[in-house]
């Protein structure tokens, strides 16, 4: 099973979720709608993980969903593919100017101080990240998150990292990553 964790202001019906379901037509792809509250979002993803514990599982997370996938990779030892992941969303990733330019007002209204506090609790130090079965894909021209900071964050752990020049934050070049995800998934133990 593949579990897609969407980013802030997105949904389980996002373009990448649709592309994953289409590409992996014969493999179950779960694309839950994640609530805006971080602890609730993690609980929802965990419930999918627990419900399917006896089959190969791969998390694919984009942006804030990548942050959640990294946290679950660490806590649950689930293999994870991260696409332009937020590594510390309680810091610069929640810059109001950037958010206002790129997200709908209703998505922004969901953010409260308690949500930011929850995100701070979930931040993972790069020195303790388990690099095994962790794959990071970045686009240099990410207009929301600083790809250089993300690259610097993951370098100490030695995980797999692939960096593209173009594709933006929404990963418009996701079709280039799908074959990697396919190979990663097929190598998972049964």
Tens of pLDDT, residue by residue over 114-127, are: 788 899 999 988 98
Tokens 């370098």 locate to 155
Residue 135 buriedness (CB in 10 A; 0-12 / 13-18 / 19+): buried
Residue 42 buriedness (CB in 10 A; 0-12 / 13-18 / 19+): buried
Q: What is the mean pLDDT of the chain?
A: 89
DSSP 33: P
Q: State which fold the 2-184 domain adopts.
A: Rossmann fold (3.40.50)
Could you give the percent of the chain with pLDDT greater than 70? 88
Tens digits of residue pLDDT in 74-86: 999 999 999 999 9
pTM of the model: 0.90
- The structure tokens listed for 94 are 């929640």
3 φ, ψ to 5°?
-115, 120
Give the integer Cα–Cα distance in Å for 52 and 3: 11
């Amino acid at each position: 099973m593949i579990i897609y964790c969407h980013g802030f202001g997105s949904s389980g019906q996002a373009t990448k979720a649709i592309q994953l379901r289409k590409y992996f037509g014969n493999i179950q792809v779960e694309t839950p709608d994640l609530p805006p509250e971080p602890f609730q979002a993690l609980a929802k993803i965990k419930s999918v993980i627990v419900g399917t514990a006896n089959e190969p599982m791969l998390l694919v997370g984009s942006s804030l969903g990548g942050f959640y996938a990294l946290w679950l990779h660490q806590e649950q030892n689930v293999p994870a593919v991260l696409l332009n992941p937020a590594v510390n969303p309680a810091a610069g990733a929640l810059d109001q100017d950037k958010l206002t330019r790129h997200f709908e007002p209703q998505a922004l209204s969901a953010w409260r101080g308690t949500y930011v506090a929850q995100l701070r609790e979930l931040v993972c130090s790069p020195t303790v990240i388990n690099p095994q079965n962790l794959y990071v894909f970045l686009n240099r021209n990410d207009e929301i998150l600083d790809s250089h900071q993300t690259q610097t964050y993951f370098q100490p752990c030695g995980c797999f990292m692939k960096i593209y020049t173009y594709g933006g934050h929404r990963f418009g070049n996701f079709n280039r990553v799908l074959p990697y995800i396919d190979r990663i998934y097929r190598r998972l133990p049964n």
